[in-house]
Amino acid sequence: MSLLVVDNISHQFGSLRAVDGISMSIEAGELRAVIGPNGAGKTTFFNLISGFFPPSAGRILFKGEDITALAPHRRVEMGMARTFQITEIFPELSARENVRFAVEIAAHHRLDLWLPAAERRRIEARTEALLGLAALSERGDRIAGELPLGDQRATEILMSLALNPTLLLLDEPTAGMADQETYDITQLIRTLNRDQGLSMILIEHDMRVIFELAQRITVLAEGRVLAEGTPTDIAANEQVQVAYLGVPR
């Protein structure tokens, strides 16, 4: 059974078909890249999968269950988490506080003023384990909004990991980053997929990152699937070169 099955989903903004009959299956443990030119419908596709709005047509199955009409927070409870194209953290809190906040949310303790010591220790341990994944333990007490962009992105990824996802949706995690930051985020994603078995869909423009990480690529253009295949297949695909990579015919 595939982890995620997207069956012919569509979404329109007015007369614009932003997502126009996309189908895709993601297997457990897979890391899939989704690429395509600006405005291809990639973020809208994520919004449909994560339930920000319902598709106008089609079905979405997650872990064999029809989630097409399920609320976003119910999808999170089922094991789906996402990050946003524009980093969403609390900039005035430290990185550590951001991550701890997410750990507390996941444990349904956010509003509990008084917690047993054992539970508080469990929350601290989980927070530190997550910070350690991105080598953020030492810098963790710095105000998140003042950290380099790469660390802010990493903080956001750690917050989504705190929700214990089986499927993580990442929308352009390396956008706007310098080479070293891109490398660090790529290694974090690689560790999560290869070592921890986390399934992911990664919207990404940087082909170096895609070649390093993805087993398969789906190319979107004008709300449709233009091609799907291994990175080598896709790099050699003439239609993709014309539509996306900007190579003239």
Ligand X SMILES: Nc1ncnc2c1ncn2[C@@H]1O[C@H](COP(=O)(O)OP(=O)(O)OP(=O)(O)O)[C@@H](O)[C@H]1O
174 touches Mg ion (CB under 5 A):
no
- 8-state DSSP, 173: T
44 touches Mg ion (CB under 5 A):
no
Least distance in angstroms from the C-beta of 28 to Mg ion: 26
For every residue of 126-143, DSSP letters joined together read: HHHHHHHHTT-TTGGGSB
Stretch that binds Mg ion, among 41-49, 137-145, 185-193, 211-219 (CB under 5 A): 41-49
154 touches ligand X (CB under 6 A):
no
Q: Rounded to whole angstroms, how far apart are CA atoms 122 and 226?
A: 46
Tell me which residue has its CB nearest to Mg ion: 43
Least distance in angstroms from the C-beta of 35 to Mg ion: 11
Given the structure tokens 């399934």, which residue do they identify? 199
87 touches ligand X (CB under 6 A):
no
Cβ proximity to Mg ion: between 95 and 189 the closer is 189
Q: Rounded to whole angstroms, how far apart are CA atoms 8 and 26?
A: 14
Least distance in angstroms from the C-beta of 4 to ligand X: 18
- Identify the burial level of 151 via C-beta atoms within 10 angstroms of its C-beta, where 0-12 means exposed, 13-18 middle and 19 or more buried: buried
Cβ proximity to Mg ion: between 29 and 37 the closer is 37
Cβ proximity to ligand X: between 47 and 186 the closer is 47
User: Which of 1, 15, 38, 246 lies at the binding interface for ligand X (CB under 6 A)?
Assistant: 38
User: Which of 3, 10, 24, 43 lies at the binding interface for Mg ion (CB under 5 A)?
Assistant: 43
Q: From ligand X, Mg ion, none, which one binds at residue 240 (CB under 5 to 8 Å depending on kind)? A: none
43 touches ligand X (CB under 6 A):
yes
User: Which of 32, 42, 75, 139 lies at the binding interface for ligand X (CB under 6 A)?
Assistant: 42
List the one residue out of 167, 191, 212, 194 whose CA is nearest residue 24: 167
End-to-end CA distance of the chain: 40
Cβ proximity to Mg ion: between 6 and 103 the closer is 6
Contacts of Mg ion in 82-111 (CB under 5 A) = 85
User: Which of 40, 144, 161, 226 lies at the binding interface for ligand X (CB under 6 A)?
Assistant: 40
Q: How many CB atoms lie within 10 A of CB 98?
A: 24
Q: Rounded to whole angstroms, how far apart are CA atoms 107 and 98?
A: 15
- Identify the burial level of 117 via C-beta atoms within 10 angstroms of its C-beta, where 0-12 means exposed, 13-18 middle and 19 or more buried: exposed
Given the structure tokens 């399920």, which residue do they identify? 70
Contacting positions for Mg ion (CB under 5 A): 42-43, 85
